[in-house]
Amino acid sequence: MTAKKTTQRQGFKTSEFIVYPAHGVGQIMTIEEQEVAGHKLELFVINFVKDKMTLRVPTSKIASVGMRKLAEGPIVRRALETLKGRARIKRTMWSRRAQEYEAKINSGDIVAISEVVRDLFRSDTQPEQSYSERQLYEAALDRLSREISAVQRITETEAIKEIESALAKGPRRGPKPAEEIEVEEEAA
């Protein structure tokens, strides 16, 4: 029975920080057993301090929900390098792009989340974002900064400064040339 429990837990321990794709970085508070409908279930009790939320996840379901350990240093560096790249914005309808961004944010993949931050970032010289763009950008920035701060053991504010510094090193993000604006208006 003990060997079975260890394999179900997949190396997760109490007080460890983890990434739950739909909610971001959380901390395993305890591992408890509960009886639900006559079955004994072993559950991770995960606390998300910033969201003021506690989640109970059956240890047998962690793989299917995509729960993972925090990203390693090289993956975090790759995510920060991704921020320095050129924004890739598809010429599809906003609703389709918004769904793709949402899927990347909820995937829990730190590199995919950094792509969303890069693509939706607006410098001071660029036009204002729409409300929905701003919401997605802030959600992605929040997830990315929380994981970077947990991995590097820095505050979220310091992580955001590091992210913004990487974004500033990207290609020039100024106003678009006039002919590009016309092409976009026709596509919409």
Task: Clarify whether residues 93 and 144 are in a common domain.
Answer: yes
Task: Clarify whether residues 85 and 125 are in a common domain.
Answer: yes
Task: Clarify whether residues 83 and 64 are in a common domain.
Answer: no
Q: Does residue 9 have a pLDDT over 80?
A: no
* Mean pLDDT, residues 8-19 taken together: 86
Task: Clarify whether residues 25 and 113 are in a common domain.
Answer: no
Task: Clarify whether residues 101 and 19 are in a common domain.
Answer: no
Task: Clarify whether residues 63 and 95 are in a common domain.
Answer: no
Task: Clarify whether residues 41 and 78 are in a common domain.
Answer: no
CATH code for position 46: 2.40.10.170
Q: At what angle do helices 110-120 and 73-83 cross, to 10 degrees?
A: 20
Final residue belonging to a domain, choices 69, 93, 113: 69
SS3 106: helix
DSSP structure class, residue 52: T
Task: Clarify whether residues 14 and 86 are in a common domain.
Answer: no
Task: Clarify whether residues 64 and 100 are in a common domain.
Answer: no
pTM of the entire predicted model: 0.83
Final residue belonging to a domain, choices 69, 90, 120: 69
- Give the whole-angstrom CA distance, residue 57 versus residue 67: 10
Residue 8, pLDDT score:
55
CATH code for position 171: 1.20.58.1290
134-188 residue pLDDT tens: 999 999 999 999 999 999 999 999 999 999 999 999 886 544 444 444 444 444 4
- Give the whole-angstrom CA distance, residue 20 versus residue 23: 6
Please give the residue range of the domain that contains residue 64: 2-69
Task: Clarify whether residues 106 and 85 are in a common domain.
Answer: yes
> Which residue do the tokens 């974002």 mark?
129
Kindly provide the residue ranges of all beta strands, DSSP E only, lying in the chain, ordered along the sequence.
Answer: 17-20, 24-36, 39-48, 53-58, 68-69
Domains identified in the chain, total number: 2
Task: Clarify whether residues 149 and 80 are in a common domain.
Answer: yes
Residue 127, pLDDT score:
86
Task: Clarify whether residues 87 and 148 are in a common domain.
Answer: yes
CA distances from 93 to 59, 89, 90, 187 (A): 40, 11, 9, 8
76-125 residue pLDDT tens: 999 999 999 999 988 999 999 999 999 999 999 999 999 999 999 998 88
* Mean pLDDT, residues 42-51 taken together: 93
Q: Does residue 36 have a pLDDT over 90?
A: no
